[in-house]
Amino acid sequence: MENNKNIDNKLWNAVAYISGIFSFVICVLIIANYLQIARLDPVNTNVINVLIERLNENPEDAELRNEIRELDLLARKAYFTNNWQIKTGGYMLLISIIILLIALQIIDSGKNNIQLNTNIENEKYYLTQKKARKWITIGGITFALITLFFAFLSHKKINNKFSTTVKKVIKSEAETIIEPVYLTQDSLIEEEVIDTLVIKEYIDTIKTESITEVKEKETVSMAYPTSAMKRNFPAFRGPGGNGIAYQTNIPENWDGESGKNILWKIPIPTHGYNSPVIWGDYIFLSGADANKQQVYCFNRLNGKTIWVVEASKIKGTPEKKPDVTDDTGHAAASVTSDGKAVYAIFSSGDIIALSMSGTELWSKNLGSTGNHYGHSSSLYIVNNKLIVQYDIKKSPKIMALSTKTGDIVWSADRNVKISWASPIVVNTGSRIEVIVLSNPNATSYDSETGEKLWEIECTYGEVGPSLAYSSGRVFALNEYAKLVAIDISNGQAKILWEDDEFLSDVPSPVATKDLLFVATSYGEIVCYNAKTGEQNWIEDFGSGIYSSPILVDNKIYLIDKNGVMHIFKADKTFQLVGRPKLGEKTDCTPAFANGRIYIRAGNNLYCIGEE
């Protein structure tokens, strides 16, 4: 029996020694971690600050911006790694101290059960040991508490550095406040096993504070389209609606039947003819029928649904939806986004603003459209104003609404017929103009004030195609009317040349500095000399076209109604690049991201990219 007690006593002595040594090592590591954070900068604050200062001096330096984002991602990883180390170290320290205290208590109990020798010296030795253990315990607990205090200081110090760094990075991305936050958060969630709710709560706090600070300093910018718009695909036909995408590495070969380079395909719950819009890792669409109106947000990388919002119970919504034709529907107008929110409009006249997380910010009804085909004019954003072309049957007008509140910033009544075209927003070098086309005029408005800048009579009929712009020239056309090139280089409008041979009732044209490309609804493509109107070449694609051509990476991408994408060089001689087939019919214009194409076809959304 005595031998068993001795063995137990030795065992708990060993446990006490091991847990004590382990606790001491953890304490030393936590204190050393604090000293290292105080001496060094695990989130690269100084480096990022220097790069941000350089970016402020040269805001268009895309390479520098990407370097800041990469360092920002490393900073976030350093932050979460240090937090994990501090948190884990604290837990390990507490557990080891608890084990040490238990071991010491058991040792003391064992000592008390031993019959002490009457020898006074042995009794004194035992009492001395007990007193020593007591002071060792008190000293150890004190040391542990000091260590936990240093752990708290470490967390606070790196938290402050991380918060400051994130805010500065967000401010440097004032044009795209949401994008870097969401992208980085998503990337971290994929790469690190972390508490996502804590991260979201923290980043949302930083994001809200930073947005408030930036908005207080907002000024009118002449940069349009902004670099953030160019990195994304924020509206129908790209930034400003001008049919130009700024992405690269766009695929040229895929096949819907075999699945070649079809990265994913997902069903869209409710039908719509609007085209995809992209901001960051999010892709937006809308859908509607006679019973419901919905806005969708998908993860553009994997197609997973992020949120679906019903645009319902909006004040002023008519009890009965307007009558529309099957080829327009209730959701023909594309949404738009500025990275802060997404905005959608429906045939009912309902317009809604949603946060990037799907929370309703504001909504209103603009009045019944009454258009016999429905409403299809898409939305655009310029300097925190949402541009709405509302050429309806009664009281046609164009409006700029505050993206923050939905209040009218300016509104201009228009003496025109119904139009189904969408505005374009262009930077002429001296001002930013909103230009719209309706029977009988092309009209330009100052994007800030709504002042009419110029107007020229140039078309007639039921206008469907939108305008194109390049190098001081605006191009307008409509079926059963004419194609017109308008010179606005001196701030006034005058007609340069006209043609009435190849026209369109749906697809919009696209222009480069020297060339104009027109797609007819019946499938012919014509390349014009933009300055003279001379025809360079004509190609018959043999299938009807409703989608608009998009210029990207010096190539034109144009998908026909049968789902065949016609890819050809943006050149004065016809050079076919490819004709990949999707395998499903479509009337919608594609959206582009670097290395990927997104197409709404039938009731599905496709993502195309190199596998």
For residues 201, 62, 60, 75, the Cα torsion angle rounded to the nearest 10 degrees is: 30
- HSE toward the beta carbon, residue 100, CA cutoff 13 A: 23
Please write the tens of the pLDDT for every residue from 467-480: 999 999 999 999 99
Domain ranges of the chain: 2-216, 227-609
* % of the chain exceeding 90 in pLDDT: 58
**pLDDT grade, residue 188 (50/70/90)?**
very low
Nearest to 186 by CA among 199, 171, 173, 198: 199
Half-sphere exposure of 276 (CA within 13 A, CB side): 30
Ranges 83-97, 219-233, 434-448: which has the least confidence: 83-97
> For residue 290, what are its two tokens?
């006679």
Place of tokens 């130009």: 244
What are 392-450's pLDDT values in tens digits? 888 899 999 999 999 999 999 999 999 999 999 999 988 999 999 999 999 999 999 99
What does the pLDDT average to over 548-562? 97
pLDDT tens digits, 269-302: 999 999 999 999 999 999 999 999 999 999 999 9
Length, in residues, of the chain: 611
Phi/psi of residue 419, each to 5°?
-135, 145
> 247: exposed, middle or buried (C-beta count within 10 Å: 0-12, 13-18, 19+)?
buried
Global pTM reads: 0.69
Fold (CATH) for 227-609? Methylamine Dehydrogenase; Chain H (2.130.10)
Which has the higher per-residue pLDDT, 316 or 92?
A: 316
AA identity, residue 357: S
Tokens of 321: 């939806």
If you search the block for the tokens 């799907």, which residue do you land on? 358
Grade residue 77 by pLDDT with cuts at 50, 70 and 90.
low
